[in-house]
Structure 1
Amino acid sequence: MNTQKVDFRSIPDEGVTWTLLGTLYLRAWESRLPAPILGDRYAAEVMERIDYDFDKLGRRLRPSGNQFLVGLRGRQFDDWSAAFLARHPDAVVLHLGCGMDSRMLRLDPEHRLHWFDVDVPQVIELRRQLYQEQGNYRMIGASVTDDGWLDAVPGDRPVLVVAEGLLPYLSEPEVRGLLRRLTEHFRTGELIFDAMAPWIVRMVKVARWGPHDGAEVERWNLRLTCAEEVSFGEHYRRIPVRRYRALYRLMYAIPLMRNMARIFRFTF
């Protein structure tokens, strides 16, 4: 990891406060709890190296409660990812819409896996100032909806495709096209992504796509099989603060709330 201070102050707030710094801030906050769910110490280290008004960001994000949602989601992604990589130590990892996430350090600190972090060029330009390409770790600056960038990724190994916080912000045709390209390029693997319920997508202006269930995606792409589908709050018992654990337990007990945001694991 690089050590110099990186200036993020000149970047416009629109699009950067959440996609680049919001989840990073909440993960860093969560890592400092006595019993964290995700415990992403790398997020805290990276945040210390970014020159930005995090106090202002914190007032908008209200981390006293929102960090648990990010922690639970990240923990589920990491658990599924670690299980896949234990079964396939020769796998390729494709992390789509990586932002400033440190997942490759959490799961592959020795950079032994063929790991590719993908995001739009301006994000990768910033990311390169915080993280180093070393070992088998590489960064690709491209929109996931573009053709061509997959040519740089070997397709003859099992692949783990991770898309956390990405697909809800693509249109349905873009999601369909991306999944088709992935399943055509790789022979076998797993795809992990999170999604909002369709009624949430209609309420949230920035979101564009949300499946009714895993079967909907299976109908689009016959190579994909939904292996698991869990609510964001599935593991609310992990929340270390009693009042928030009780709140998430209540939300999980109400079907409409329980299914408002889910995490999917597909095999192919």
Structure 2
Amino acid sequence: MSGRVDFSGVQSTMLVTLYLRALESRSEDSILRDQAAVEAARRIDYDWRKLQQPGLASNRFGVALRAKQLDDWAADFLRRNPDATVLHLGCGLDSRAFRLDRPAGVRWFDVDLPDVIELRRELYPEPGDYRTIGASVTDPAWLADVPADRPVLVIAEGLLMYLPTVEVERLLRRITDRFHRGELIFDGVAPWVAGFTQRIPERLRKGYPPYLTPLRGGRDVERWDPRLRYVEDVAVTSQFAKIPDRTVRAVYRLMSRFPALRDWLRLVRAEF
């Protein structure tokens, strides 16, 4: 059993997503099948009853669909580049490094704040070419510890929308300046979603931060960093057919018919 945790702010979101991935993965018809998340949630000394709120459990499907699409893109990149370097930025407690079938030659770095990484090291092993880095992703110094001699896959799940746009631009340009070629996969929220969270009074957000950088479309990456080239994007709601729960599947199907609701959360793949 790890030490007791009670993160706040941006870090609190990683406990919510871990809880939802574990909850979804306990089902026989799981989309994600993240057994490492199930085990991690069991080991953490946290009062999970705080998250047993009406309606929250149904969000497990959106979390699983997002993670599965990013997993599929990551697996595709690693099949084509079995000697790649992976940078999982703002990794939180995600177990993607252990959920994927990584080629033996892959060098993987999970990056997050020092207290998050300290907890990760209690929960997950660090075998072979897997390493953790305890630092803010916006700190330029940590990238110097990552060799730049291989193609790189950059995963930024649940991260870029929380950063000011100027920090998003600086982060991406540091990465593309350092590495010769690679791919970026990430998620982003629509402008109306970001604006809504920014108008919620702090006392009502209960520690959750607002979204600062919205995604108007997949080609925003080319504006953030001219070296990046947009490849494709996917709306999470468009994946409704994979949801086993009939009621939630019907809700996602309905949302997918209206552009504003369909595009509230999109996944983007870019290359350089």
Instruction: Say yes or no: TM over 0.5.
Output: yes
Match of 2:135 in 1: 142
Question: Which stretches in structure 2 are left out of the alignment for 5+ residues?
Answer: 199-209
Match of 2:61 in 1: 68
Per-residue CA deviations over 1:69-127 (Å, capped at 9, x if unaligned) read 10100010001000110111010010000001100001146865200000011111111
In structure 2, what is the Cα distance between the partners aligned to 1:15 and 1:60? 22
Q: How does 1:2-41 map to 2 (within 5 A)?
A: 5-9=1-5, 11-19=6-14, 21-41=15-35
Match of 2:211 among 202, 207, 210: 207
TM-score (norm 2): 0.92
Contact 1:73 1:232 in 2 (8 A): yes
SS at match of 1:212: coil
Contact 2:190 2:214 in 1 (8 A): yes
In structure 1, what is the Cα distance between the partners aligned to 2:225 and 2:95? 30
How far the C-alpha of 1:12 sits from its partner, in A, is 4.7
TM-score (norm 1): 0.93
Distance 1:171 1:61, change over 3 A: farther
**Which amino acid in the other structure matches residue 3 of structure 2?**
D
Contact 1:95 1:163 in 2 (8 A): yes
In structure 1, what is the Cα distance between the partners aligned to 2:33 and 2:259? 29
How far the C-alpha of 1:58 sits from its partner, in A, is 2.1
Matched, 1:191 2:195: no
How far the C-alpha of 1:7 sits from its partner, in A, is 2.1
Contact 1:111 1:137 in 2 (8 A): no
Match of 1:178 in 2: 171
How far the C-alpha of 1:35 sits from its partner, in A, is 0.8
Per-residue CA deviations over 1:175-210 (Å, capped at 9, x if unaligned) read 000010010011001000100111111111311001
Match of 1:255 among 238, 252, 259: 259
RMSD of aligned Cα (Å): 1.6
**Which amino acid in the other structure matches residue 71 of structure 1?**
A
**Which amino acid in the other structure matches residue 145 of structure 2?**
A
How far the C-alpha of 1:145 sits from its partner, in A, is 0.6
**Which amino acid in the other structure matches residue 168 of structure 2?**
V
In structure 2, what is the Cα distance between the partners aligned to 1:152 and 1:60? 44
In structure 2, what is the Cα distance between the partners aligned to 1:34 and 1:198? 36
User: More helix by proportion, 1 or 2?
Assistant: 2
**Which amino acid in the other structure matches residue 168 of structure 1?**
M
Per-residue CA deviations over 1:7-57 (Å, capped at 9, x if unaligned) read 224x354444322x1101000000011211111111001111111111222
| Paired positions, count | 261
In structure 2, what is the Cα distance between the partners aligned to 1:90 and 1:16? 31
Distance 1:110 1:139, change over 3 A: same
Question: Which stretches in structure 1 are left out of the alignment for 5+ residues?
Answer: none
How far the C-alpha of 1:131 sits from its partner, in A, is 1.5
